Amino acid sequence: MNTIHKLIFSLFLFTVLIVALHWQFGEKKRYQISPSEFAFLATNDQVQNGASVSSIEQNGKAVALNCELKASEDYPWPYCGVSIKYDEHDPSKGFDFSDYHTVRLDVDFINLDGGAKPALRFYLRNFNSAYSTTENEYTFKYNGLDYRQADYNQVLEIPLNNMQVMTWWLVDNQISIEHAGPEFSNVNRIEFATGSGTAQGRYQLKINSIEFVGHYIDGESLLFSLLILWVTLAMVFSGLEIRNSRLKIAHYEVRRKHLKSLNRKLTEQNIEFAEQANRDALTGAMNRHAVRSWLETQFNCRESLDEPLAIIYLDIDHFKRVNDLYGHKMGDDILREFTMVTMAELRATDRLVRWGGEEFVIFCASTSLKQAAMLAERLRQKIELYPWMHGEVLTASLGVTQLEDETVLDMVARADELLYVAKHSGRNRVEINGM
């Protein structure tokens, strides 16, 4: 769970960082219209048999249009302007301004004869093969507006979504509804022209700069992408949690079946043990009282037959920790399992006695000290490698000795001292008397 929390926190920091970067830099996409890259051409009404005159002058990065509007009987609406072409040779090629939201115009429009502030028309002409042909410039869509500035020395910012398709162009070209809206995906002309109602006279239009401002990715797309990322990761996390839950359930089911099988075996053994006297109620191992009569018989037999008697004293390492972490019920189950694991390695003549708590004693009749030491080491290894029901490694410390000229209790005491040495020498080891 801590890992998921860390991932969520990291994703939150990532989201904040991306939003902050977008806020700081995402709207900084710029495109400058430069005379070195585009063709600036003077236009006027002479193509419609008008009398207006216009010419272009370039001074560094600035371009100036000198215009004289003259009335004509053949064309009563005099105009002049500037047409900026993306590609002079192929009008079907244009620039995609779809990712730009604003155009900044730094233009000076001066009435050289004095008088009222003149009006300007600004167009972004778009080529679309659905309605445009390369042979007829009039089919290039007019996205534009008319405006008049109180002070042409100020930079004017025009949001592109404020521009409109000219109604007269829609009517003249019989444009369908689906293509009636503004388009900026293939702009092949940028045009300025004198506004409607501009009086006859001399004018100068100085174009200092034309700059388009856009975003590398718009805010809505960014937020939508982040939402998709969050939803996707949420689904992945949910899938992983479901998978982990299923694995845990499967693991617990295996453990449950194992414990059920263990309890069944222990029940069967306890039924058998119930027929015998003096068995440990929890583990089924012999208790001290039960082994007393056996020892007396074995000890007498040893005196008469001179057979060796060895003892292995076992103690489970850190068993208190098992009880503290998993509870006493789990501790009892592990003691039962420990008894079964140990007894599986013993001979029919050996006797396993629960001496107290997690301590056990194995009495090995007719067994030398070397044989008992080998058995003890085999038990130590099996205990360490066995898959215990609580899912962790369990180890034991063992002390091994042999009955000498002493009582059995003296022998047990010496084995207990060896066990104490094993515990203080690092645990999970066998200490053998005299070896």
Task: Write the pLDDT tens digit of every residue in 192-228.
Answer: 999 888 888 999 999 999 999 987 666 666 677 778 8
- Going from N- to C-terminal start, the domains of the chain cover 28-214, 276-432
Instruction: Dump pLDDT digits (tens) for 233-282.
Output: 778 878 888 888 888 888 888 888 887 887 787 777 665 655 455 788 88
- Per-residue confidence at 305, pLDDT binned at 50, 70, 90? very low
Secondary-structure class of domain 276-432 per CATH: alpha beta
Q: How many CB atoms lie within 10 A of CB 125?
A: 26
Name the pTM for this structure. Answer: 0.49
> Which residue is listed with tokens 């084995």?
415
Does residue 294 or residue 53 have the better pLDDT?
A: 53
Q: Cα separation of 46 and 78, whole Å?
A: 9
276-432 has the same fold as 28-214? no
Does residue 117 or residue 32 have the better pLDDT?
A: 32
Provide the pairing of β-strand 396-402 with 430-432. parallel
Strand boundaries in 253-330, DSSP class E: 309-316
Q: 386-395 b/e with 16+ CB inside 10 Å = b? A: eebbbeeebe
Length of the chain: 435
User: Is the CATH number of domain 28-214 2.60.120.430?
Assistant: yes
Least confident window among 4-18, 149-163, 324-338: 4-18
- Rounded mean pLDDT of the chain? 86
